[in-house]
Each structure stands twice: as C-alpha cells, then as structure tokens.
Amino acid sequence: MASCKICGKSRTVGNNVSHANNRTKRQILPNLQRTRVVTAGRTERVYVCTRCLRSGAVTKAV
C-alpha cells in the first residue's frame, strides 16, 4: 500500500457497522495522487495526499 511521501499518511482500519450492529473489518484509504514534485532540484513522481497538495507543502513541477 502506498503512502504520502510528505506526511506519511497511509491506510487506517475500522469497522463497517450494519443496522443489526454486525461488525466487519474495512480499510479507509487516503486520497493519494501521483504527482510530479520538485525535490532537491530534480523532478520525480511521488504519491502525495490531497491535503498536502492543497496546503502548499509540495512544490509541483511545471
């Protein structure tokens, strides 16, 4: 499973809960986008969560 290269956000686990209160495991996945990012003067493609993109924590390549 990929994770955000900036903040390290990855999947989390929880339960699906039915109306009868039956519980089954589920995964909650972050919204990751594969973007071109400038790091250390060079461009590379990394997985970044949309929160990091929106907050400006990433310098996108042109």
pLDDT per position as a tens digit, 6-52: 999 999 999 999 999 999 999 999 999 999 999 888 999 999 999 99
Rg of the chain (C-alpha set): 16
The per-residue pLDDT for 62 is 84
Measured from the Cβ of residue 37, the count of other Cβ atoms closer than 10 Å reads 20
Q: Which two tokens stand for residue 36?
A: 């071109």
Classify 51 as helix, strand or coil.
helix
Amino acid at 16: N
The per-residue pLDDT for 6 is 94
User: pTM for the whole thing?
Assistant: 0.79
The per-residue pLDDT for 1 is 72
The per-residue pLDDT for 26 is 98
Cβ(30)–Cβ(49) below 8 Å = yes
